[in-house]
Amino acid sequence: MLSVYIGRYLLCEINVSDRRDLLKLDDRAVAGSVKAAVARTHGDYGAALCSIRFCVKYLNAHTGIVFLRFHKGFYKLLWSALPFITSIECRGQIIPCFLNCLHVGGEV
């Protein structure tokens, strides 16, 4: 029997005051900031779910568009933690920003 992974994709926009800061971002930095926000908001339970089924599927550093994938049953944990992201640390620099969730979808 095949195991099917059913996830939800959150299409988000990273908003920064200086658009040149977007070019400094990478997917690992975004994932780390999202995981930290989920852990702060939902504690060990949220951190455990992020360690199992969370990933950054796509990041466009020119436009600030990012796809976040999370498990179908728990995507609201990720969604509710997005407003608590105020900065992303990348390559030793802290970039102040916030994330807008534009769309939640089941398939890409």
**Per-residue pLDDT reduced to its tens digit, 87-106:** 999 989 999 999 999 999 98
Q: What SS3 class is residue 85?
A: coil
Report CA torsion sign: 31, 36, 39, 44.
positive
The rounded radius of gyration (Å) of the Cα atoms in the chain is 14
For 42, phi then psi, to 5°, come to -115, 5
Predicted pLDDT at 42:
93
pLDDT-derived band at 50, boundaries 50, 70, 90? confident
Q: Within a 10 A sphere around the Cβ of 54, how many other Cβ atoms?
A: 22
Interval 72-87: pLDDT, tens: 888 888 899 999 999 9
CA distance 96 to 42: 22
